Amino acid sequence: GAAGHTNEAGEPQIVMVLAATNFPWDLDEALRRRLEKRVYIPLPGSEQATDLLRLNLKSVVVSDDVDWEELSKRTEGYSGDDLTNICRDAAMNGLRRKIAGKTPDEIKAFSASVPPVSMQDLLEAIFRISPSVAKVDIEKHEKWLVEFGSA
């Protein structure tokens, strides 16, 4: 509990403990009882996936040909971390093309500019990066939520 926790003025303070796990079924019963609120955060939906993709690409130039709606459809079932990996990989695709077949000296002479991230770059990254969460794992989380969750 938070008994005895006060601020400098001697007023009682609330202490909140926030914990996260990918394996809630591994929590023992005593700990589960003490964690009063148990909330399941699902994989990102279409709108959230688009927001995450845009957020992860905000520091690079993105080509006008990027179809965000199509990308959100193609990334259904991907986690936030998966989406980050897709963006990182896609951002490297232009650089890979730029240096392909070049000698180390030619590469050193290049300017630091990186080509914009295109729709093709993103599609290639999606092809290379599979979702890390299996449907059976999602079902297991949802079953646990029904049994032990609260919101």
Tokens of 48: 């959230």
pLDDT of residue 151: 59
Tell me the pTM.
Answer: 0.78
Q: How far apart are alpha carbons 72 and 137 in whole angstroms?
A: 21
Burial class of residue 87 in the structure, from the number of CB atoms within 10 Å of its CB (0-12 exposed, 13-18 middle, 19+ buried): buried
Q: Going residue by residue through the chain (151 aa), what tens digit of pLDDT does each one get? A: 455 677 888 788 888 888 899 899 999 999 988 888 888 899 999 999 999 999 999 999 999 999 999 999 999 999 999 999 999 999 998 888 888 888 888 777 776 677 899 999 999 999 999 999 999 999 999 999 999 887 5
pLDDT of residue 38: 87
* pLDDT tens per residue, range 33-56: 888 888 889 999 999 999 999 999
Q: SS3 letters for the chain?
A: CCCCCECCCCCECCCCCCCCCCCHHHCCHHHHHHCCCCCCCCCCCHHHHHHHHHHHCCCCCECCCCCHHHHHHHCCCCCHHHHHHHHHHHHHHHHHHHHCCCCHHHHHHCCCCCCCECHHHHHHHHHHCCCCCCHHHHHHHHHHHHHHCCC
| CA quadruple 25, 49, 82, 54: dihedral sign | negative
Please provide the distance, in angstroms rounded to a whole number, between the alpha carbons at the two ends of the chain: 21
Domains of the chain and any CATH numbers: 1-43+134-151 (no CATH), 44-132 (1.10.8.60)
Tokens of 95: 């650089």
Q: How far apart are alpha carbons 65 and 19 in whole angstroms?
A: 40
pLDDT of residue 4: 60
* pLDDT tens per residue, range 14-29: 888 888 998 999 999 9
